[in-house]
Amino acid sequence: MIKVDWSIIFQIINFIILVLLLVRFLFKPVVQALENRTQHIEEQISAAEAQKKAAEELRIKLEEEEKKIQEKYLEMVEQANKDAAKLKENIINEAYQEAEKIKKEYEKRAQKEIEKLFSQLREEIVEIVEIAVVKVLNSQITPEIQTQLIDQLLGEAVSQIEAQMELSYEK
Amino acid sequence: MKNEIVRVITPLPLTEEQKEIIKKHLSRLSPQEGFILQEEIDSSILGGVIIIWEEMLIDCSLKTQLQKIKEKIVKEVT
């Protein structure tokens, strides 16, 4: 006959009860707490990664914006340089044209003035010659010369009149 | 023969020879008519003669000749 040691059985039972109690009141809450903590950390990690990803996207976006702004700036500087060069060229051209215009105007005026002076000079010379001729004629016309003049000039004039009359008759 | 009155302007009084020359030339235009010369002295015409016969003006003065030459010179040099 096997002799049962009840104290060991009670100890085993107590141990089992203890284990059950531990599982029920200590292990489950601890595991639950650990799971909650793990989940919280995972969520924080996910949030951090999301933030990191967003930050990276933002950085890329900002870099692109910066690049665009830089390109736009360079383009504007280039356009400004082109505009300035064009403006400079226009100003020089306008100044040159204005100078040419003024030069031509002065040349034209000078030419007119010269022509006017030459015209006056010619008229004066002709007047002087005319006065001289009149003086000579006044002193040189004798009745004999006058006779020759009348004969020659009147003869020519009458011949012209006759020719005109003949033409009129023919018509 | 009908006698036509003709105004004759000269710088000097006409001689008989000059009158005959004038009549001779005028008769070429109207052979059947005679001419009475109405003389006028105008020294400004310089020489030659100006004849005014009815509506006809025959300007053979040196003044007019000189004026024509003057106009020609002015025209050519301008």
Per-residue pLDDT at A105: 95
Using a CB-CB cut-off of 8 Å, the residues of chain B touching A148 are none
Residue numbers of A between 92 and 121 with CB closer than 8 Å to B: 119
Which residues in chain A have their CB less than 8 angstroms from residue B27's CB?
A: none
Which chain B residue shows the shortest CA-CA distance from A149? B48
Determine, for residues A154 and B73 on separate chains, whether the beta-carbon distance falls below 8 Å. no
CA distance A34 to A71: 54
| Best CA proximity match to B49, nearest among A61, A143, A30, A153 | A153
Q: How many domains does chain B have?
A: 1
Q: How far is A105 from chain B (nearest CA, A)?
A: 23
Give how far B9 is from chain A: nearest CA, Å. 11
How many CB atoms neighbour CB A90 within 10 A?
A: 10
The minimal CB distance from B48 to the residues A126, A134, A149 is found for A149
Smallest Cα–Cα separation from B37: which of B55, B48, B21?
Answer: B21
Lowest mean pLDDT among A84-88, B54-58, B73-77: B73-77
Query: From the list A122, A143, A154, which residue is nearest B49 (CB)?
Result: A154
Tokens of B77: 């040099």
Confirm or reject contact between A125 and chain B (CB < 8 A): no
In this complex, which of B25, B43, B56 lies closest to A155 when CB atoms are compared? B25
| Pick from B11, B18, B25: CB nearest A141 | B11
Dihedral sign from CA coordinates of A78, A79, A81, A82: positive
Q: Could you report the per-residue pLDDT of A30-63, keeping only the tens digit for each?
A: 889 999 999 999 999 999 999 999 999 999 999 9
Task: Find out whether B60 and B22 touch, Cβ atoms under 8 Å.
Answer: no
Instruction: Tell me the pLDDT of chain A averaged across its residues.
Output: 91
> Which chain B residues touch A163 with a CB distance below 8 Å?
none
Reported as a single tens digit per residue, the pLDDT across B9-45 is 999 999 999 999 999 999 998 888 889 999 999 999 9
The residue extents of the domains of chain A are 6-140, 141-171
**pLDDT the model gives residue A126:** 84
Note the pLDDT of residue B78: 62
Q: What is the pLDDT of residue B33?
A: 83
- Cβ contacts of residue B59 below 8 Å, gap of 6+? A157, B50
Higher per-residue confidence, A170 vs B63: B63
Query: Of how many residues is chain B composed?
Result: 78
The first and second tokens of residue A136, run together, are 């000579």
pLDDT of residue B75: 79
Q: Considering chain B, what is the average pLDDT of its residues? A: 90
3-state secondary structure of B20: helix
* Tokens of residue A142, six digits: 């004798």
What are the φ/ψ torsions at residue A142 (nearest 5 degrees)? -110, 165
| Structural contact between residues B22 and B8, judged by C-beta atoms closer than 8 angstroms | yes
Q: Which domain holds residue B41?
A: 3-77
Residues of chain A with pLDDT under 50: none
Asked if pLDDT for residue B77 goes beyond 80, the answer is no
Check: CB of residue B48 under 8 Å from CB of residue B28. Answer: no
C-alpha closest to that of A74 among A82, A21, A109: A82
| Cβ-nearest to B70 among A130, A156, A157 | A130
- Rounded distance, CA A103 to CA A97, Å? 10
What is the pLDDT at residue B76? 78
Residue B1 has a pLDDT of 67
Q: What is the DSSP letter of A142?
A: -
A158 and B22 in contact by Cβ < 8 A? no
CA–CA gap between residue A97 and residue A157 (Å, rounded): 60
Residue A1: the pLDDT is: 66
